Amino acid sequence: FCIFISSLLIRACGISFDLPYIDGSSDEPFYVLHSLKFGTGDFNPHWFLYPTLYMYILFFVYSMYFLLGLVFDIFQSTHDFALLYFTDPSSFYLIGRFTTALLGSFTVILMYPIGKRLFGQRAGFLSSFFLAFTFLHIRDSHIIKSDVPMTFFLMLSFYFAVRIFQEGRSR
């Protein structure tokens, strides 16, 4: 638990960099804009240079943001929601960056059961600890990009592959 909290804090610290001004050379605007564009009803990104699963995850998170905004009377319509993006996109980038940081911290959690199953409790603890403080993983958890979410889903798949291998059943 302490490793998870530490990893989440170190990944969430400083995620507001460059806001509200986003550097045009970053990939973040691509992910945010395509995720928001799914709200028009067209779920085809029409461009597949980047993997699309994370865009759909962000669309879900932004949809929850919109629904909460309706409930708490922050937005009255989709027009207000879109206007917020064009006047100050900071909240959209913070939500996307925090989603990436959260998936990065969940990857840290996944390292423990994988290491424990394969090499024992100490190895599980150490692997989780080392990933929690790995520079590249921390750096990439600060930006909206598919690298950290991909690593999370890769480790989740690996965890279940190890379970299937050790238990001998696919259930």
128-152 residue pLDDT tens: 999 999 999 999 999 999 999 999 9
pLDDT averaged over every residue in the chain: 92
Q: What is the pLDDT of residue 168?
A: 86
Which of the four pLDDT bands, split at 50, 70 and 90, describes residue 20? confident
Which of the four pLDDT bands, split at 50, 70 and 90, describes residue 48? confident
Q: What is the pLDDT of residue 160?
A: 94
Give the burial string for 64-84 (b: 16+ CB within 10 Å, else e).
ebbeebeeeeebeeeeebeeb
Q: What is the pLDDT of residue 26?
A: 78
| Through-space distance between the first and last CA atoms of the chain, rounded to whole angstroms | 28
pLDDT, mean of residues 79-105: 94
pTM for the model: 0.91
- pLDDT above 90 as % of the chain: 77
Q: What is the pLDDT of residue 46?
A: 87
Q: How many Cα atoms occupy the beta-carbon half-sphere of 28 within 13 Å?
A: 28
pLDDT higher than 90, residue 50:
no
CA 48 to chain centre: 19
pLDDT higher than 70, residue 25:
no
pLDDT higher than 90, residue 17:
no
pLDDT higher than 90, residue 24:
no
Q: How far is CA 131 from CA 56, 91, 156, 158, in A?
A: 26, 28, 15, 16
pLDDT: which is higher, 161 or 51? 161
Q: How many Cα atoms occupy the beta-carbon half-sphere of 9 within 13 Å?
A: 6
Q: What is the pLDDT of residue 106?
A: 97
pLDDT, mean of residues 106-127: 96
